[in-house]
């Protein structure tokens, strides 16, 4: 989804990928940003928090009339139906990121 949003073009691809991973880990309650992830990505969890929040905002307030092909594709079982995953509440996300 970020590929079609101009605001994300200025972000480093590695930082965007790391932020997406942190958001996914947080959404699925699979743990947080570990020292191993920090070492190999080069990013501290605190460095990713603003972008993680922006990504969650993008998921929360996305127009449903745009990107229907992307949404349909990733709603399929082959892709684990990730498009059907509900975004986190912004306050809960903030709380989880702080802990």
pLDDT per residue as tens digits for the range 71-90? 888 889 999 888 888 889 99
pTM: 0.86
Would you state the pLDDT for residue 63? 65
pLDDT > 90? residue 49: yes
Q: Which domain holds residue 7?
A: 2-98
Q: Tens digits of per-residue pLDDT, 8-48?
A: 999 999 999 999 999 999 999 998 899 999 999 999 999 99
Q: What is the CATH number of the domain that holds 10?
A: 1.10.472.10
Tally of domains within the chain = 1
The CA distance from 86 to 75, in Å, is: 12
| Contact by Cβ (8 Å): 66, 54 | no
Would you state the pLDDT for residue 66? 67
Beta-carbon neighbour count of residue 97 at 10 Å?
A: 21
The CA distance from 94 to 80, in Å, is: 26
């Amino acid at each position: 989804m970020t590929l079609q949003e101009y605001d994300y073009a200025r972000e480093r691809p590695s930082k965007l990928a790391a932020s997406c991973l942190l958001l996914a880990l947080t959404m699925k309650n699979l743990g947080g940003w570990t020292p191993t992830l920090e070492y190999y990505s080069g990013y501290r969890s605190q460095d990713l928090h603003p972008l993680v929040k922006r990504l969650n905002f993008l998921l929360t307030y996305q127009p449903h009339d745009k990107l229907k092909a992307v949404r349909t594709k990733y709603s399929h079982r082959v892709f684990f139906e990730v498009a059907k995953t509900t975004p986190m509440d912004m306050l809960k996300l903030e709380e989880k990121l702080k802990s």
